[in-house]
Amino acid sequence: MATVTDFRSMDESTAEDWRLVAQSVSGDSSGMADVALDMLKRLKGSSLCMPVDPYEHSLQTATRAHKDGAEEELVVCALLHDIGDLAAPQNHAELAAAIVRPYVSDLNHGVVLLHEIFQGYHYFDKVGLDRNLRDRFRGHPAYARTAEFCAKWDQSSFDKNYQSMPLEAFEPILRRVFARPPYGGNRTPHVDYMGFRINMIPGQAA
Ligand SMILES: [Fe+2]
Ligand SMILES: [Fe+2]
């Protein structure tokens, strides 16, 4: 059984307490896959007045990505790009992007984050918005990839007659992606708040 720390406030916690906490957090990546699967399943039946519900839309987007030979990680991003639809309907991309960020490349994180604006290229003109809002991101490394993601897979995945692969078919790759060490490779753990990028590297206190 895991040791439980017993500090009453952070001020009285010790370095050893935080070593134990970090150990338990880093050993919990399979839990992330379960959370993502639960969030996906909750999208079932919430029509939002669209031709297909966000659950079917997610499966359809991921199926198209998979059939076009997209890398495994990008297929997972396609599957999860709208999991924030119910919890954060006004900024759903931010929520999904935050969830996948530690486990995917910066480029694919960019796709998930930017897709909400880039989808607008395909319909904003019908709701009185500028369909070229995405152009503010010209020069961003994820620009071309996000434009392609939306054109080929996201904006075209509202077809009631499309045969999507079942969620179970994607579960192994979803679990593989969340089983990765967070911020693996040579990526620096970080957060972005209000335009401030804060690196979070243990042992390198400012
Ligand atoms: Fe979306
Ligand atoms: Fe979508």
Q: Report the pLDDT value the prediction gives residue 187, as an integer from 0 to 100.
A: 83
Provide the residue range defining the domain that includes 59.
29-180
Q: What is the CATH number of the domain that holds 81?
A: 1.10.3210.10
* Ligand 2 center–CA 100 separation, angstroms: 15
* Ligand 2 center–CA 55 separation, angstroms: 10
pLDDT higher than threshold 60 for residue 104: yes
pLDDT higher than threshold 90 for residue 108: yes
* Ligand 1 center–CA 81 separation, angstroms: 6
* Ligand 2 center–CA 154 separation, angstroms: 5
Question: Domain tally for the chain?
Answer: 1
pLDDT higher than threshold 80 for residue 175: yes
pLDDT digits (tens, 9 = 90+) for 72-84: 999 999 999 999 9
Q: Report the pLDDT value the prediction gives residue 206, as an integer from 0 to 100.
A: 52
Q: Report the pLDDT value the prediction gives residue 14, as an integer from 0 to 100.
A: 96
pLDDT digits (tens, 9 = 90+) for 114-173: 999 999 999 999 999 999 999 999 999 999 999 999 999 999 999 999 999 999 999 999
User: Model-level pTM?
Assistant: 0.90
Q: Report the pLDDT value the prediction gives residue 29, as an integer from 0 to 100.
A: 61
* Ligand 1 center–CA 93 separation, angstroms: 6
Report the pLDDT averaged over residues 1-23: 88
Q: Is 139 inside a domain boundary?
A: yes
Give the CA angle between residues 95, 71, 74 to the nearest 5°.
Answer: 10
* Positive/negative CA dihedral, 91, 96, 98, 101: negative
Q: Is 13 inside a domain boundary?
A: no
Q: Is 196 inside a domain boundary?
A: no
* Ligand 1 center–CA 125 separation, angstroms: 17
Q: Is 140 inside a domain boundary?
A: yes
Q: Is 78 inside a domain boundary?
A: yes
Q: Is 188 inside a domain boundary?
A: no
**Average pLDDT, rounded, for the chain:** 92
pLDDT greater at residue 46 or residue 117: 117
* SS3 at position 177: helix
| Residues within 5 Å of ion ligand 2, judged at the Cβ atom | 82, 154
Q: Is 12 inside a domain boundary?
A: no
Residue 49: pLDDT band with limits 50, 70, 90? confident
Residue 190: pLDDT band with limits 50, 70, 90? confident
Beta strand segments in the chain, E? 190-193, 196-199
Measuring CA to CA, which residue among 103, 56, 55, 53 is closest to residue 77? 103
Q: Report the pLDDT value the prediction gives residue 189, as an integer from 0 to 100.
A: 84
| Residues within 5 Å of ion ligand 1, judged at the Cβ atom | 82
* Ligand 2 center–CA 73 separation, angstroms: 16
In angstroms, the CA 173 to CA 100 distance is: 13
Residue 204: pLDDT band with limits 50, 70, 90? low
Q: Report the pLDDT value the prediction gives residue 84, as an integer from 0 to 100.
A: 95
Q: Is 134 inside a domain boundary?
A: yes
Q: Which residues have C-beta within 8 Å of that of residue 96, sequence separation ≥ 6?
A: 80, 81, 82, 83, 84, 112
